[in-house]
Amino acid sequence: MLFQALMAVRDLSRLHDIAAILVRYGFGDIVARMGLTQALERAGRVLHYDNATRYAHLPAPTRVRCALEEMGPTFVKLGQLLATRVDLFDPEWIAEFGKLQDCAPPVPYADIRSQLTEDLGAPPEELFASFNPDPLAAASIAQVYLAGLEDGSKVVVKVRRPGIRPVIEADLRWLMRLSELAEGESPDLKIFRPKEVVRQFAQSLRRELDFAVECRNAERIAQNFSGFSDLATDATHPLPPIIIPRVYWQWTGERLCVQEYIAGIPGRKLNEVDKAGLDRKMLAKRGAHAVLKMIVEDGFFHADPHPGNVFYLSGNRIAFIDFGMVGRLTEERREQLIRLLLGLVQHEPRRVLDVMLDWAGDSVPDEAELTLEIQIFLDQYHGVPLKQLRLGAMLSDLVAILRQHKLMLPADMALLVKTFISLEGMGRELDPDFDIASEAMPMLEASLRARYTPAALIKRGGHAIGEAFTLLAGLPHDLSRLLRTARRGKLEVHIEIAHLKHVGNQLDGAVNRLAVGIIIAALIVGSSIVMTVQGGPRLFGIPFFSLTGIICATLGSIWLLLAIWQSSRADRD
């Protein structure tokens, strides 16, 4: 089935390119194990292994990062997603994945103009007062242009690259097949649930391809910040402290979005922050308050707050852009996060352990050992002043403990941990004395207290009572359906035991091989009888039907021997 999927004509050219890149960076064994070498050779596309050792001197994380960069936008995005999975990869891998930059050579404007005209409904030069055909930025999925409106304001026009979706869909099909192979053949990889990771990645990437979704994310976050004020508000500048670009919906769709242009200092140019006379400490504090609000209060946050997506404006204001990647937290997850962070800061191992066990589910191999390691981990911070705590480093070390026990974080929490680490890193770039623990503590404690106010308890109690009444109201109907099904004799009870299923599969395979053996024996006996019959067509002096039966029996015997050999080899492994 894998071979048939990979040999689909629509994916063959892309498959050859990917396989060649893997071979070039020393991953020819992966290509061979997947059967791509034979598949491509049968299709007339020969792989050359002469450059397979060209990059052998580079460390494995570097080779993987370079291969992902060369394979194109889907794999760059995959690497950026893997950079958030601090629970799966060691720090050296996370560091390499973090180097993946979403940039690409720009597509000529002549190739984009026809699509842009189709989406706008008219040529951009006619719709806008001004339009610069030279792109402001070129990423793997989109290019950004600067335009002006009649009222003198400026906007950015983000255009999806023409023809990018078919390439990404082909890559996603290939990745899903690869994840199925990895999960089916490698018990070590199965615990990381590669199919689930690829499924979540595919969903995220398809959402990112739809710019209307990105704009809806931006508007939701802008609404959450309406009326927002923080402890660092500057009375001399009454403008909102957090800026989210306005969306121009009349020109926005799946392949195009038009947003307000932010004329600020990019987050990477800290020297310009000093020249503009901005207060670095206030910027660090305000950014921390904004991100913590999105996470703790709203449960909907910008999941990629790196310096390229942040601008600093006069009055020590901060603007966030690019909402293609956002994180979502349920109320239960937010409560778990608050308990975890408070447990880390206040050195309460039991609270930390409870959250870790909630996340791990039933997959904890040794709960006593995990408890001891968390206790030892927190003991090293006992007595350390709050200002000296490095919350990002603590989270990284805690996730390393989970990784040692082969436990995975839930996908939403893995993204959140990476966001926290990025936030603390940005804060310390602005202010070396930045202390995220001190900034987070008041908000965490306030959020925890808010959950136990009389109003909150009454609200949750009301929801629980309503759900209970709904369950009781539907109980007679459910019992009636159950009894009706039982009377008809259609009531089924499904019990699945993993070991019995494995035994059943083995018995099924054995019966199939026995059936094939009986057919082969029948062919041999029948062919021998036919050989004694005079007359009829002959080939090489042998009765044609007898020869045909012997050939079929021989081929069947070869297949049966190979199947038995492969089965015994799999049992030994």
- Rounded distance, CA 336 to CA 339, Å? 5
Is 50 exceeded by the pLDDT of residue 2?
A: no
Alpha helices, DSSP H only, in 72-163? Answer: 73-82, 91-98, 109-120, 124-127
CA 559 to chain centre: 41
- Rounded distance, CA 316 to CA 172, Å? 42
- Rounded distance, CA 10 to CA 204, Å? 23
Q: Which residues pair with 160 in a beta bridge?
A: 142
pLDDT one-digit tens code per residue, 461-502: 777 787 777 777 877 887 888 788 777 777 777 666 655 556
User: What is the mean pLDDT of the segment spanning 386-410?
Assistant: 75
| pLDDT of the residue at 216 | 94
pLDDT one-digit tens code per residue, 237-283: 556 889 999 999 999 999 999 999 998 898 888 889 989 999 999 99
Is 50 exceeded by the pLDDT of residue 161?
A: yes
pTM: predicted TM-score of the whole model, two decimal places: 0.70
| pLDDT of the residue at 497 | 62
304 is catalytic: yes
Task: Give the Å distances, CA to CA, from 9 to 21, 43, 192, 343.
Answer: 20, 10, 31, 55
| pLDDT of the residue at 7 | 43
Whole-number CA gyration radius for the chain: 31
Confidence of residue 18 (pLDDT cuts 50, 70, 90): confident
pLDDT one-digit tens code per residue, 57-112: 778 888 888 888 888 788 888 887 777 777 677 778 888 887 776 667 788 998 89
Contact between residue 83 and residue 94 where contact means Cβ atoms under 8 Å apart: yes
Angle at 288 between CA 282 and CA 292, to 5 degrees: 150
Q: Which residues pair with 256 in a beta bridge?
A: 159
Q: Which residues pair with 266 in a beta bridge?
A: 311
Token output for 213: 């979704």
Confidence of residue 534 (pLDDT cuts 50, 70, 90): low
| pLDDT of the residue at 146 | 94
SS3 of residue 69 by DSSP: helix
The candidate with the shortest Cα–Cα distance to 417, out of 368, 364, 356, 363, is 356
* Phi and psi angles of residue 159, each rounded to the nearest 5 degrees, phi first: -115, 130
User: What is the mean pLDDT of the segment spanning 549-570?
Assistant: 73
| pLDDT of the residue at 233 | 46
Confidence of residue 50 (pLDDT cuts 50, 70, 90): low
Is 70 exceeded by the pLDDT of residue 334?
A: yes
Confidence of residue 571 (pLDDT cuts 50, 70, 90): low
- Rounded distance, CA 206 to CA 118, Å? 21
| pLDDT of the residue at 371 | 80
User: What is the mean pLDDT of the segment spanning 416-420?
Assistant: 79
CA 472 to chain centre: 40
- Looking at every residue in the chain, the average pLDDT score rounds to 78
Token output for 368: 């006593």
User: What is the mean pLDDT of the segment spanning 17-44?
Assistant: 65
Domain locations in the chain as residue ranges: 2-102, 329-452, 457-493, 498-572
Alpha helices, DSSP H only, in 193-300? Answer: 194-209, 211-224, 270-275, 280-292
Give the 3-state DSSP-derived string for 490-526, with helices as H, strands as E and coil as C.
CCCCCCCCHHHHHHHHHHHHHHHHHHHHHHHHHHHHH
Q: How many CB atoms lie within 10 A of CB 570?
A: 9
Of residues 11, 102, 171, 304, which has the active-site annotation? 304
Contact between residue 429 and residue 270 where contact means Cβ atoms under 8 Å apart: yes
With a pLDDT cut of 70, the percent of the chain lying above it is 79
Confidence of residue 568 (pLDDT cuts 50, 70, 90): low
Token output for 407: 């436990």
Confidence of residue 313 (pLDDT cuts 50, 70, 90): very high
- Rounded distance, CA 67 to CA 24, Å? 8
